[in-house]
Structure 1
Amino acid sequence: MVRVEYRVELDVYNGPLDLLLYLIRRDELDIYDIPIARITDTYMAYVDMLRQMSKDNGLDINIAGEFLVMAATLMEIKSAMLLPKPPPEVAGGDSGAAAELADPRYELVQKLLEYKRFKDAAMALEHKAQVHGQRYARVPAARPGSGDEPPPLDLEEVQIWDLLAAFNRLMQEVGVRGPSVHEIVDDDTPMDLHVADIEDRLQREGALTLRGLLLGRKSRAEMIGVFLALLELVRQKRVVVHQAHGTGEVEIAKAS
């Protein structure tokens, strides 16, 4: 059987700094006072998740280098936090150097703040472009009986990290993740077919949940293949994915 190798390209907003910002926001942490041991452990869990997917299914995930560099940086900071703090005069009057010596997290925090400003500005520009594109769009007529419909749920758009966490929970739930499973069943289905299958089900069913999409698959490899096809559809903005809250059901719908 020929093994299908998938290549997954994560865009610029899904690098290691984006993952760190996501974890800080999700856990409501103070960006100026990051609990480095906790954030390092959580970060490594996500990196291990990606490694496991790559190892089990022959995936070429184009993120390994920069994520591992950040992992090494976090471990170095974690170790430095255990050392006694040097006296402030060691920096020789350089306020930035003094701050970094006093707190090993200083440089990382500055990079995170700079990245956050860049990302916020880019998102603001994207929002303006969307508003401009919709300015002259025709408002659809109200459907009969629409006044009786319940208001839509306040769903937050899901990031790739939310999807990875939800996918990992499902893999653990069905008991197919981890070194205890030795049976290897390759999935030779091309990604295009998984993509077509997802779009066909959305066309027929209107909406899907991540659980409904993945559970019942014959192997871990097939689950990973379907999940990567979903990521590709999200990247191409052909589907939208929402979640009611941090660990709620992930809902998938066609992009409007």
Structure 2
Amino acid sequence: MTPAGRGGPASAPVVQLDGYEGPIDFLLELARAQKVDLARLSIVALVDQYVAAVEAPGAAATLTERGDWLIAASWLVLLKSKLLVHAEDEAKVPEAERLRDGLIRAEQRRHARALAGWLERRPQLGQEVFARGVAEVPAIADRTEGGDLLDLLLACFDLLDVPKTAAREAVRPYAPPALDVWPLAEALVHLRTWLRDHPGGGELGELVPGASGCIPASPLRRRSNLATGFLAGLELAKQGEVLVHQDRTFGPLQVRLSALVLPS
């Protein structure tokens, strides 16, 4: 079958059937005039050749032409079906109603042609304009890649056939490594206990464990103790339990119990 539109703007797809070879629109005219034997024509071959011609690489038919050819193919299928299935009692349609239906179909076809023309005048993606990052597709593309249902099922079985041990290892939750730091809750308890035993207070930096160096601790632990002890002092000062003051700029922080919590 000749690709649609190759011979010019008005060239219709050429079909090769038993008893006819020519454009599909001329075949419809012969069928309506009863000048061709529709009983010898294969509808399956007609549809296959029409689809192959419209989708052939290099086909330059417009959207309006493709619509006209689709209507012609549909009429041929309808006429062929009437030969195969005979209605015994066909309802007679009045002439006025038949004319009205014809006018409605003609108006709908006019609107469809106008819409198709508007779509044809717009830039076509892949022809006049291209999406960002997408190269121009050649007229003849090699589409040899493919597969069958058996390949798909085998691939699914490969994914599902996973050992149970491997599945458990795959969903094992992630546990971050434990850091050697001083929790704030422990720092608050430690600071409250020390201040109750020493109401006069002292330097905040000397109250945290490991600050004096007598208790062995890693560098991370010592920094954590200082930072957590400072936060604990600020929290107790915010709650009114302790008083924090500094005698000079960048001097050590002094902390002592507040008068509200001093033992009587």
Q: Smaller-chain TM-score range? A: under 0.3
Larger Rg: 2
Normalized against structure 1, the TM-score is what? 0.25
More helix by share: 1
Query: Relative contact order (C-alpha < 8 Å, sep 6+): which is higher?
Result: 1
Question: TM-score with structure 2 length normalisation?
Answer: 0.25
